[in-house]
Structure 1
Amino acid sequence: MGALDEGHFCEELENGVKLEDPETFAIEDAVRVLLQGLGEDVNREGIRKTPLRVAKAFREGTRGYRQKVKDIVQGALFPEAGLDKSIGNAGGAGGLVLVRDLDLFSYCESCLLPFQVKCHVGYVPSGQRVLGLSKLSRVSDVFAKRLQEPQRLADEICLALQSGIKPSGVAVILQCSHLRFPTLESVLLNSNQEVWSDVTVSSGSGVFKDENSDACSDFLSLLKFRGVNIKKTQTSECWCPSRISDSPSSIACSAVAPANHLMVSAVTSIIESLGEDPLRKELVGTPARFVKWLMNFKDTKLDMKLNGLGLCKIDTHKPNGVVHGNGGRMHSELNLSFWSQCEHHLLPFHGVVHIGYFCSEGFSPLPKSLLQAIVHFFGFKLQVQERLTRQIAETVSSLLGGDVMVVVEAYHTCMISRGIEKFGSNTATIAVLGRFSTDSAARAKFLAGITKAIGGS
């Protein structure tokens, strides 16, 4: 079927990464250990190629270890004379150069999950040397594509540009966002948890060392032109949510099963294969933290029992709701949060679920707590969004006898970690059962309700 045939798929996977590398093989073997530790069949369709996908993503996402700044800068410095015998500065004689809103991503050294970076970088040329503008992005990306934490990332970009182009000064501001990943137990207690952990860091050299200098003032003013208002926050060891859960005083993931030693060793092997030293003090606890997060999605094969309610048809007589055609009542529950783990890339995705359904005249709607529990039950597994949507719809249908529509909106971490780097991309999937599959007016009414709710929130 054209681009979807098996040969083309394998060809796509080979682009950018040598699949014969010992490092790639080592990561694949480690991922198989992780999948087996989660109770998965590594030969199951859907995850059979997961080890290769994960290896490719990790190798691409840490390619900065195999790149050198001097290879980028050399040949990209150009002479620019600037002003002669005049008051002021411009061009290669001291005019500020700024590139805003560079979208980068980096793998967090504390948990091995990717975090988003909005990078603003500028410099003041000197010695009649200016750098090709695209190289500011490329140099920044070299250091982003390593296991990182925000402040070190900013400092490394700043130092590399200062050393490479020898300007009067370099300024770097990073706005970083890390997904706050919860556990099943914590979301059952509080579904409205914060999604992102945000931090803003900066680094400056030369004329930018003094935050009250004219150079710094100009730099910040040029950012404000485009609505970028910088409020610097300080990083700490607890910037990564996985480090927060290390604290005894926090609500830790106490119900998560103890880390499997084979799985921890597998993650250690991945770190070594990426070119890092797993004994570096910042990385010592990383394998256990990654496994601790992953074990939230262990395939437990438990029977479906949600909030103490088994799956049985609901028949409590408490009439309410909005009367719709055919004698039924349409009900909806919108913006039910969910968290899940992509079975193709072992990366988290999260979002909201909207559920619409019909009740027969005189029957009560389903409790919101039950619907939310159903969403979490299917979310906390290795999943794909399409299957998640179908499973929720079929489960709700089994309680009501048929007429159900489900919309799932999700943000996928793999959209930024696999080279696409499109922050804010959102995917939507729909499942329609019973009357919704034939009644276009009912579908339109439900979708309009979602639009109204989102517009008002």
Structure 2
Amino acid sequence: MDAKNTVIKPWQQGLSDHVRTAPAASAPRPSREEAEAAVRTLIAYAGDDATREGVLDTPKRVVDAYDELFQGYREVPADSLDRTFSETSGYNDFVLVKDIPFNSHCEHHMMPFFGLAHIAYKPTDRVVGLSKLARLVDTYAKRLQTQENMTAQIATALEEVMKPKGVAVMLEAEHTCMTMRGVAKPGSLTMTTHFSGTFRDDPNELVRFMSLLRGK
């Protein structure tokens, strides 16, 4: 989806820009040929021969991979949450989906970071399909990101679209920009959280959330 041609649906009015639309590029998107030429330049910069048989088709493969890895730039987060269900039989507790795998790329080094997302929300009168929460995570993950920003974006989308009584989001991830370069500490995990509503105001709700995450 071209960000500048994103259609804003009536119910999306009033949402934060990053929730209701796909990101708008600040410059025209380069052509595929320009992108492949850039990859050839990087191959040469690394010290290899960009015309060598083994890497001759690498630019095409890299651009194909980028189309998949960064498809979140062409997706609207609110669309993941636009279908909800009211038949909850009076359910009045929080919904937790944990251990949602994700992979993203650090915006500082363009190196992967990957891990698990845990999302809980306490619905008001409607719930959303469980797979939609995983789709929301993927939409934000498949962009250049920081883990802190991604955590806040997921929470904001849920808060603004679902208007629940509370939201809890926790991400835990390994960053290859830390584990493969620089200090090179493999296995190090970074954890980020965002709590609002009942999860922020009621310590018991927060304890229950953490206990369920840890299987207690």
Q: Could you list the per-position Cα deviations for residues 149-170 of structure 1 after superposition, in whole angstroms to 9, with x for gaps in the alignment? A: 1111100000001112111111
Q: Residues 214-293 of structure 1: matches in 2 within 5 Å?
A: 214-225=204-215
Residue 138 of structure 1 and its aligned partner are, at CA, apart by 0.4
Q: Could you list the per-position Cα deviations for residues 80-115 of structure 1 after superposition, in whole angstroms to 9, with x for gaps in the alignment? A: 2443xxxxxxx2xx3110011011011001100111
TM-score of the superposition, structure 2-length normalised? Answer: 0.79
CA distance in 2, matches of 1:22, 1:108: 21
Q: Which residue of 1 aligns with 2:103?
A: 105
Q: Does 1:41 align with 2:49?
A: yes
Q: Does 1:28 align with 2:18?
A: no
CA distance in 2, matches of 1:198, 1:208: 23
CA distance in 2, matches of 1:203, 1:26: 39
Q: Residues 244-393 of structure 1: matches in 2 within 5 Å?
A: none
CA distance in 2, matches of 1:123, 1:217: 14
Residue 141 of structure 1 and its aligned partner are, at CA, apart by 1.0
CA distance in 2, matches of 1:221, 1:200: 16
Task: Indicate which of 173, 179, 203 corresponds to 1:213.
Answer: 203
Residue 182 of structure 1 and its aligned partner are, at CA, apart by 3.6
Q: Which residue of 1 aligns with 2:120?
A: 122
Q: Residues 361-440 of structure 1: matches in 2 within 5 Å?
A: none
Q: Which residue of 2 aligns with 1:60?
A: 68
Gaps of 5+ in 2: 1-28
Amino acid at match of 1:60: E
The answer to whether the Cα contact below 8 Å between 1:24 and 1:56 also exists between their aligned partners in 2 is no
Amino acid at match of 1:203: H
CA RMSD, 1 decimal: 2.0
Residue 24 of structure 1 and its aligned partner are, at CA, apart by 3.1
Q: Specify whether residues 25 and 196 from structure 1 end up closer, same or farther in structure 2 by C-alpha distance, changes over 3 A only.
A: farther
The answer to whether the Cα contact below 8 Å between 1:69 and 1:164 also exists between their aligned partners in 2 is no
Q: Does 1:145 align with 2:145?
A: no
Q: Does 1:156 align with 2:147?
A: no
TM-score of the superposition, structure 1-length normalised? Answer: 0.39
The answer to whether the Cα contact below 8 Å between 1:139 and 1:161 also exists between their aligned partners in 2 is no
Residue 59 of structure 1 and its aligned partner are, at CA, apart by 2.3
Q: Which residue of 1 aligns with 2:22?
A: none
CA distance in 2, matches of 1:100, 1:81: 20
CA distance in 2, matches of 1:81, 1:116: 33
Q: Could you list the per-position Cα deviations for residues 114-147 of structure 1 after superposition, in whole angstroms to 9, with x for gaps in the alignment? A: 1112110111010x20000000100111111111
User: Quick one: higher RCO (CA 8 Å, sep 6+), 1 or 2?
Assistant: 2
Task: Indicate which of 122, 131, 134 corresponds to 1:134.
Answer: 131
Q: Could you list the per-position Cα deviations for residues 314-371 of structure 1 after superposition, in whole angstroms to 9, with x for gaps in the alignment? A: xxxxxxxxxxxxxxxxxxxxxxxxxxxxxxxxxxxxxxxxxxxxxxxxxxxxxxxxxx
Amino acid at match of 1:181: M
The answer to whether the Cα contact below 8 Å between 2:77 and 2:140 also exists between their aligned partners in 1 is no
Q: Highest Rg: 1 or 2?
A: 1
CA distance in 2, matches of 1:157, 1:28: 32
Gaps of 5+ in 1: 1-20, 84-90, 187-192, 227-457
The answer to whether the Cα contact below 8 Å between 2:140 and 2:150 also exists between their aligned partners in 1 is yes
Q: Could you list the per-position Cα deviations for residues 16-58 of structure 1 after superposition, in whole angstroms to 9, with x for gaps in the alignment? A: xxxxx85433321111111112232222122111111211222
Task: Indicate which of 81, 87, 102 corresponds to 1:80.
Answer: 87
Residue 181 of structure 1 and its aligned partner are, at CA, apart by 2.2
The answer to whether the Cα contact below 8 Å between 1:175 and 1:199 also exists between their aligned partners in 2 is yes
Residue 72 of structure 1 and its aligned partner are, at CA, apart by 1.9
Q: Which residue of 2 aligns with 1:199?
A: 190
